[in-house]
Amino acid sequence: MTQNIVQEAESQVSYLEILNRVDHAVWVYDFDNQRVVWGNPSSLEVWGAESVEELVSRDLSCDVTETVSRRLLQYQSDFIENEGVQFKEIWTIYPNGVPQSLNVIYSGILLADGRMGMACEALLASKFDSDAIRSAEALLHTSVAISLYTSDGEPLYKNPAARTIAKGSTGNLKDYFASTQTLQLLNNSDEDEVKTIASVKTADGLRWHDITARRCHDAVSGNTSWLISEVDVSRLKATEERAQFLAEHDVLTGLPNRNCVSVQFQNRIDGVLAAGNRGALIFVDLDKFKDVNDTLGHTAGDNLLVEVAKRFSQIVRGKDMVARLGGDEFLLLISPSNNAEIEFEKVAERIKSEVIKPIFLQGREIQVTPSIGISLFPENGRDINDLLRHADLAMYHAKDMGRNTHAYFTNDLSDAVSTRLNLESELNTALKEGEFVAYFQPRVDIQSNKITGAEALARWIHPEKGLVSPNVFIPACEASGLIGELGKEILSQAVVAQRKWAEQGYDIRMSVNLSPMQFNEENLVEEIVRVVSEGKGNPAMIELEITESVLLGNDQCTINKLHALVECGFRIAIDDFGTGYSNLAYLHRYPIRCLKIDRSFIQDIDVALPIIELILSMARLFKLDVVAEGIETQDQLRELKKLSCHEYQGFLFERPIEYAAFFDLLAQNHHKMAA
């Protein structure tokens, strides 16, 4: 019935006619073309237009800023998705540059070609004060999402930013928060304002928002409501989480790092002990890892660590843990549910068998072995720091026992390591106090028995212990970074000795050892040149002994340093030749003048004869001098003479001796020769 009346009335009235007469400005906007497509006479006034034709002909795109354009697109999609939806806003337009603040009601209207347009109905907002207009504008333009909800969480209002986030959804707050705890937090709070960072469900998926919820009254209904403002802090949050992760993990292997150990390992230990169980802290250090780094380079070293870390991760099960302490040190925590003793052994064996599996690096098959130290809890302590120290001690003991082995902590070990620690600090003082002295061992012509040179060998004259062997302090100096200083000290003494003997008529060649570690020094060459010139020495009479490991890495930096040294006049010799893995055929690539056959070949001369012959013929080919080291017997000397080795060194002729003693020997020897 009513339907009919309405239909009848509609047929008699022209709506356009009505719209043309109302006082309100009414126009239709085409989002896509950014133009007004129709307006009533009142709208012409609002827009300052002469006629509908003129209004319609205006291109509004130049007045539309980026934010307005985004907002308009939001309206368009809101209209498409929610039929019949309306928005009320204060909108300021600038016809002919004059601001006009309008109170506008927007609704969706289909244009003739079926696209979604917008019907706008406006009242001049001149009765609003300017602050109200500005605050309303700010609300529209801000990127802060602002929304109003009833106390039950039903939405009352959302500014464009809030609508963009929710993608037009008008859902309840409880569906917006990813966790129910967030709403509980708001509802349970006594404060008028609650601040929190919460995960929310947005059009872009879950995001972290910094949310401020304020209890207020809805200006329309007077009911209590929530005014919520929120800012997306997902990136900050991600950065924070990443920072947290980095603080607790090792970037290279992704394993937990040392920082993690003190908290997480301790928690686990506490848990195990509380349950009345036992466990083991296993400290693993890779043997000779430094060699891989020194010879194949850091990238290869890194790859090796990553591979080993992967293998360790496969060893631990359940609540067991693994971490990288730094360098080539790893830590495992295990707590078997029963048969603890047997399980500890099993894991130690498993670590050995995993680590020793070959790893391919730069086309080479590399094998490393672990040294493993184990401390048990509660037997050796309950505190992670104690247990770690004890496992570390046990690990050093394992190394002393010859590597690729494991050792349990015992109280005796504490003493041994305090010795090691003392050693490092003692070395420091020894350097400052000038307790290192160069001894000299003669190098002799094998045919004539005439002294051709001397090798400078470091000795530590310890105030209490007396003479300490370099086999004790050289590794410690290398480990503590003192080797560079020590090397220069010995070089300096050697240079002075060489010059003084030369001044007295014995201009013999002086050999000085260079540790592979010293090649890490950037200004190694400059420092050597400096020390030699300060001692007024002659580089041509100085030979620098390097080990094969220095060449192995084929590191361009090292090779450059060798060439630079040769250019400065020094000779380069390879020490302990035959013990490394160097390929004889590659020798000519390096600026080498001399090979020193390692003592071990001389000791086992019967077995090693073919190798010595090979070395000698190779050396002839490349025109290298050869020195046999460690000649102790006449038999050995005779053999090498037969093979036409050039020079020798060894206890048979003389041990390393002091400067003055060497001078006497020199005088005697040359006198004998001359006679």
Determine, following the binding rule CB under 6 A, whether residue 12 of this chain makes contact with ligand C2E. Answer: no
Determine, following the binding rule CB under 6 A, whether residue 303 of this chain makes contact with ligand C2E. Answer: no
Residue 515 interacting entry, from ligand C2E, Ca ion, none, C-beta within 5 to 8 Å by type: ligand C2E
Site for ligand C2E (CB under 6 A): which residue of 184, 367, 429, 469?
469
**Alpha helices per DSSP H over 160-216:** 160-166, 173-176, 180-188
Among the candidate windows 42-50, 84-92, 245-253, 469-477, which touches ligand C2E by CB under 6 A? Answer: 469-477
- Nearest approach in angstroms of CB 635 to ligand C2E is 13
Asked whether the beta carbons of 654 and 441 are under 8 A apart, the reply is yes
Q: Which is nearer to ligand C2E, 429 or 469 (CB)?
A: 469
Determine, following the binding rule CB under 6 A, whether residue 145 of this chain makes contact with ligand C2E. Answer: no
Site for ligand C2E (CB under 6 A): which residue of 492, 515, 549, 669?
515
- Nearest approach in angstroms of CB 662 to ligand C2E is 13
- Nearest approach in angstroms of CB 615 to Ca ion is 14
List the structure tokens of 67: 């934010």
Q: x-or-dash pattern for ligand C2E, window 561-580, by CB under 6 A?
A: --------------xx----
List of residues 6+ apart from 604 with CB closer than 8 A: none
- Nearest approach in angstroms of CB 650 to ligand C2E is 3
Site for Ca ion (CB under 5 A): which residue of 545, 625, 639, 654?
545
One-letter amino acid for residue 396 of the chain: Y
Among the candidate windows 330-338, 435-443, 526-534, 624-632, which touches Ca ion by CB under 5 A? Answer: 624-632
Count the residues of the shown chain that bind Ca ion, applying the rule CB under 5 A. 5
Site for ligand C2E (CB under 6 A): which residue of 28, 280, 430, 457?
457
Distance CA 270, CA 574 (A): 54
Asked whether the beta carbons of 172 and 156 are under 8 A apart, the reply is no
210 exposed, middle or buried (CB, 10 Å; 0-12, 13-18, 19+)?
middle
Q: Which is nearer to ligand C2E, 332 or 532 (CB)?
A: 532
Among the candidate windows 172-180, 528-536, 587-595, 643-651, which touches ligand C2E by CB under 6 A? Answer: 643-651
Distance CA 599, CA 586 (A): 22
- Nearest approach in angstroms of CB 644 to Ca ion is 21
Site for ligand C2E (CB under 6 A): which residue of 487, 535, 537, 539?
487
Task: For 298-346, give the DSSP string.
Answer: HHHHHHHHHHHHHHHHHH--TT-EEEEEETTEEEEEE--SS-HHHHHHH
Sign of the C-alpha dihedral, residues 168, 171, 173, 177? negative
Distance CA 322, CA 351 (A): 12
List of residues 6+ apart from 106 with CB closer than 8 A: 75, 86, 87, 88, 89, 118, 119, 120
Site for ligand C2E (CB under 6 A): which residue of 279, 336, 470, 580?
470
Q: Which is nearer to ligand C2E, 339 or 523 (CB)?
A: 523
Helix, strand, coil % (nearest 5) of the chain? Answer: 50, 25, 25
- Nearest approach in angstroms of CB 455 to Ca ion is 6
Distance CA 282, CA 408 (A): 9
Half-sphere exposure of 533 (CA within 13 A, CB side): 8
Among the candidate windows 58-66, 176-184, 300-308, 624-632, which touches ligand C2E by CB under 6 A? Answer: 624-632
Determine, following the binding rule CB under 5 A, whether residue 575 of this chain makes contact with Ca ion. Answer: yes
Asked whether the beta carbons of 35 and 56 are under 8 A apart, the reply is yes
Residue 510 interacting entry, from ligand C2E, Ca ion, none, C-beta within 5 to 8 Å by type: none
Residues that bind ligand C2E (CB under 6 A): 441, 457-458, 469-471, 474, 487, 490, 513, 515, 575-576, 599, 630-632, 649-651, 656
